[in-house]
Chains A and B, each alone.
Chain A
């Protein structure tokens, strides 16, 4: 096993002199000092990011517990576990199950995945990658977090009131007629939408106006490209969700006939509105994940990213084409067959930019020196899982196959491979990648990698059987099922608990590092992007001295220094170049 970043050629064996070392001055950590108030009303993008991080991880835990409850119930065909656990009769227990999968989906989508990479990691990293002190609008950034908290409170309110049983999609007319606290939950989602818009707006302006001298569009780290493309979708698509949820609330509260046919509305219209946001939202979730992978793979391969321009353009292509494919969620909904055909055709075109990225990431490793540190292990796991997630999308884009597979476990498995195997794994890659920078502590590499392997195995164990369940016709959102499906469900449930243990281990390793971890050097992985050119953790100002802006994927000037247990940037040999 290759140990932590040990380069064969280090600072000393290369005979480099100390005067060529770029010194990064230590400063007072942004984490230290100040009471509770200095956090709640901070304008520091890093503190806001850390608060986001703590919040989304809490909700990930809550959403994950609901997932495990759902999986545990599905271990047997009948509704037995929930009725025993909560002392309910079968009817009430089924209602409970429906609430559990609704809360799992709604919490994971609105409170975890959508803000996970942009709002938590992006908030911390984006200004630093620009060599900037903060985002363009720090107050708006703070407002975005406060809105997130309020939105989350409404969500949790709906949770405590119980009875929210619409599924995360809030399909009308079910959602306009059920007894659950739908208005409260949609109000929560409405507020969360604004939080998302604020973040997006901030990022677009920041990237457009605050790039340092020397960083042209095509010398930007690909993480910025990805987050920028995401921000555009957030700004353009989220208002549609807001309007849709508002209309839904009007219908529920005032009886306006918009979606319910009994009032003269059209339920399929709701699906058009909903997916017009929610399909682009899928790219809000996955693009930042791809962006992290585009930064992690070259760093740990010690090679420039292969095909920078194609990756950058493919992010924009995905963002734009993503707006034109929402109808592929509705092939069996009763939309016109012509619409289905058009949507199917465009859907296939959006698969190409994703394929390009996967090929480019793989090609980046060619002739590199691959360091299997934890972030790289997650990145490799991402390529494997995202490839499965992306390829299984081809089945669902094909019209007649989708008619068979729609709303079955095949779809469930597909989007978990993309959302969890893709975004969550990329988030974990990013979290492990930037952890030393954010908190200034190194975690235990061995245990972090063990967790990564458990998560990888547990994930496939959970979701591979679901593809087979789906093709055999197991419908999704079923509290009970035919006994013929039990073998698959058992495997899936066992896998889910194994996966859960891996996630707990990963969390434990990271928490342990906060208490007992070694101090992190400024640049433990030898990355060339700007966020590594300040101390770990950074000061409130981020940069004490203005960093030198080079190509973000040129690693030739970064050399390992065993004394620092990290990489140092070396200045060009001025004396020598003067002689020539």
Chain B
């Protein structure tokens, strides 16, 4: 949408505009960015005109009418309705155009295309998580180049705001409701060029939280990685879909503990929260509300995750939601290994398996 200045040589025009834009902005990397920058530049032109006009008049008057020996104030009309109405109406007309262009751009920003890929975003103090249509969850946002992506966002605690400067998109993430925004990336982020100076968006577009949310608000950020092709994106989905890519089972288990909500109710320091602590629990005998006793082992943990109401621990309310269909076998295995590690029990490595599963990213989420 950048208007062409045909009077200048084409190359010079481009370099001048490039210089101006790089002074103010990160490179435009989404379909709406050009429009935002165009309106910004339009407003900037209006501002420069009025600024030069006002400050210019101020300086001219200062030079001409500054008090000095022999200088007297001259009389001039103390009002002029025509003049005053003119300088009221002209700005009004100009602001109407600014409003209109901003409005049109805003409509585009708020209207995602129908074929958009949907990614669920959850913000909580102080991390982002992104869930893809196949159910896989990651802390980085990946998307294919040129593909509209719709973000459906919610918050687990306070208000956050998702902001990707290179895409010029921002939307608050409010607890208790879903908010939405979308983008279509037109560029991949610049590669790390190896120099010591950190360039903006190097190795992935910056994604910031822009609504103040407490201690680590400034570290609630993520990278947006734009995959060059749909194939690359599929490979990425397959990669994160397999828990084994996350490292040893204990490490994967710890990540799941923090990311999938276990941490809200189960402590790892021995204190009781809404649910029993995981520390030192493995291998002990747990008393159930029915009075029965049961050994806390692989089978009991697995059953408690998939069917929490079957055997409720005495002294706790039956409030745990089921994770049936939300955790894969490998993930449950990883959580068990993590619980074992908290009880000082030896942990195991991934069990053998024939081959990695192949996942179709367009399939509906498993949950």
Report which A residues bind B (CB closer than 8 A).
2, 6-9, 91, 94-95, 98, 165, 167, 171, 173-174, 177-178, 260-262, 266-268, 301-310, 331-334, 337, 340-341, 344-345, 348-349, 351-352, 355-356, 358-360, 362-363, 365-372, 380, 383-384, 387-388, 391-392, 394-395, 397-404, 406-408, 468, 471-473, 475-484, 553, 555
B78 near A305 with CB under 8 A, answer: yes
B62 near A365 with CB under 8 A, answer: yes
Give the residue name and chain of the A residue nearest to B200 (CB): A484
Selected A-B contacts with CB under 8 Å, 30 pairs: A8-B72, A94-B216, A98-B212, A171-B211, A173-B175, A261-B176, A332-B161, A332-B172, A334-B172, A334-B179, A344-B102, A348-B98, A349-B95, A352-B95, A355-B87, A359-B84, A367-B75, A372-B66, A391-B50, A395-B44, A397-B102, A399-B99, A400-B102, A401-B39, A401-B105, A404-B170, A472-B200, A478-B218, A482-B200, A484-B198
With A360-B84, A468-B24 in contact, is A384–B55 under 8 Å at CB?
A: yes
A472 near B218 with CB under 8 A, answer: no
B171 near A334 with CB under 8 A, answer: yes
User: Which 8 pairs of residues, A with B, have the shortest CB-CB distance?
Assistant: A261-B176, A473-B165, A398-B102, A400-B105, A399-B106, A478-B218, A348-B95, A407-B210
Give the residue name and chain of the A residue nearest to B48 (CB): A391
B213 near A174 with CB under 8 A, answer: yes
A352 near B92 with CB under 8 A, answer: yes
4 more CB-based (< 8 A) A-B contacts, given A177-B158, A388-B51: A398-B105, A400-B39, A403-B171, A407-B161
A333 to B39 CA separation, bound complex (whole angstroms) = 21
* Chain B window 36-53, contacts with chain A (Cβ cutoff 8 Å), 1 for yes, 0 for no: 100110011011001100
Please name all residues of chain A whose beta carbon is closer than 8 Å to the beta carbon of B51 when the two chains form the complex. 387-388, 391
B209 near A475 with CB under 8 A, answer: yes
A362 near B47 with CB under 8 A, answer: no
A333 to B170 CA separation, bound complex (whole angstroms) = 9
Please name all residues of chain A whose beta carbon is closer than 8 Å to the beta carbon of B80 when the two chains form the complex. 307
From A2, A365, A369, give the contact of B58 (CB < 8 A).
A365
B72 near A369 with CB under 8 A, answer: yes
Give the residue name and chain of the B residue nearest to A403 (CB): B170
B350 to chain A, nearest CB (A): 34
A369 near B159 with CB under 8 A, answer: no
Q: Cβ of B357 < 8 Å from any Cβ of A?
A: no
Please name all residues of chain B whose beta carbon is closer than 8 Å to the beta carbon of A403 when the two chains form the complex. 36, 106, 109, 168-171
A394 to B200 CA separation, bound complex (whole angstroms) = 27
B339 to chain A, nearest CB (A): 27
Report which B residues bind A (CB closer than 8 A).
23-26, 32, 35-36, 39-40, 43-44, 46-47, 50-51, 54-55, 57-58, 61-62, 65-76, 78-80, 83-84, 87-88, 91-92, 95-96, 98-99, 101-110, 157-159, 161, 163, 165-166, 168-172, 174-177, 179, 198-200, 206, 208-219
A262 to B163 CA separation, bound complex (whole angstroms) = 25
Give the residue name and chain of the B residue nearest to A386 (CB): B54
From B35, B211, B218, give the contact of A407 (CB < 8 A).
B211
Please name all residues of chain A whose beta carbon is closer than 8 Å to the beta carbon of B107 when the two chains form the complex. 337
Please name all residues of chain A whose beta carbon is closer than 8 Å to the beta carbon of B215 when the two chains form the complex. 91, 94-95, 98
A565 to B159 CA separation, bound complex (whole angstroms) = 60
With A267-B159, A365-B61, A401-B43 in contact, is A306–B71 under 8 Å at CB?
A: no
B210 near A301 with CB under 8 A, answer: no
From B44, B68, B72, give the contact of A9 (CB < 8 A).
B72
With A362-B61, A388-B51 in contact, is A174–B106 under 8 Å at CB?
A: no
Please name all residues of chain B whose beta carbon is closer than 8 Å to the beta carbon of A178 when the two chains form the complex. 214
B351 to chain A, nearest CB (A): 38
Please name all residues of chain B whose beta carbon is closer than 8 Å to the beta carbon of A309 when the two chains form the complex. 79
A369 near B79 with CB under 8 A, answer: no
From A367, A387, A555, give the contact of B50 (CB < 8 A).
A387
A473 near B206 with CB under 8 A, answer: yes
A95 to B179 CA separation, bound complex (whole angstroms) = 28
B71 near A261 with CB under 8 A, answer: no
A11 to chain B, nearest CB (A): 15
A371 near B67 with CB under 8 A, answer: yes
B79 near A362 with CB under 8 A, answer: no
A407 to B211 CA separation, bound complex (whole angstroms) = 7
Give the residue name and chain of the B residue nearest to A335 (CB): B172
From A302, A334, A399, give the contact of B105 (CB < 8 A).
A399
A2 to B149 CA separation, bound complex (whole angstroms) = 64
Give the residue name and chain of the B residue nearest to A553 (CB): B78
Please name all residues of chain B whose beta carbon is closer than 8 Å to the beta carbon of A482 when the two chains form the complex. 198, 200, 206
A9 to B163 CA separation, bound complex (whole angstroms) = 63
A7 to B214 CA separation, bound complex (whole angstroms) = 59
Give the residue name and chain of the A residue nearest to B57 (CB): A362
With A95-B215, A267-B175, A407-B170 in contact, is A171–B159 under 8 Å at CB?
A: yes
A371 to B68 CA separation, bound complex (whole angstroms) = 9
From A332, A384, A481, give the contact of B218 (CB < 8 A).
A481
With A98-B217, A174-B214, A407-B170 in contact, is A356–B87 under 8 Å at CB?
A: yes
Please name all residues of chain A whose beta carbon is closer than 8 Å to the beta carbon of B179 when the two chains form the complex. 334
A477 near B36 with CB under 8 A, answer: no
With A165-B214, A167-B212, A356-B88 in contact, is A370–B102 under 8 Å at CB?
A: no
B87 near A477 with CB under 8 A, answer: no
A365 to B26 CA separation, bound complex (whole angstroms) = 42
From B46, B74, B103, give the contact of A399 (CB < 8 A).
B103
B25 near A406 with CB under 8 A, answer: no
A340 to B65 CA separation, bound complex (whole angstroms) = 46
Give the residue name and chain of the A residue nearest to B219 (CB): A480
A91 to B102 CA separation, bound complex (whole angstroms) = 40
From A267, A368, A384, A394, give the contact of B95 (CB < 8 A).
A394
A387 near B54 with CB under 8 A, answer: yes
A180 to B5 CA separation, bound complex (whole angstroms) = 56
Please name all residues of chain A whose beta carbon is closer than 8 Å to the beta carbon of B212 when the two chains form the complex. 98, 167, 171, 174, 476-477
A398 near B98 with CB under 8 A, answer: yes
B205 to chain A, nearest CB (A): 10
A135 to chain B, nearest CB (A): 30
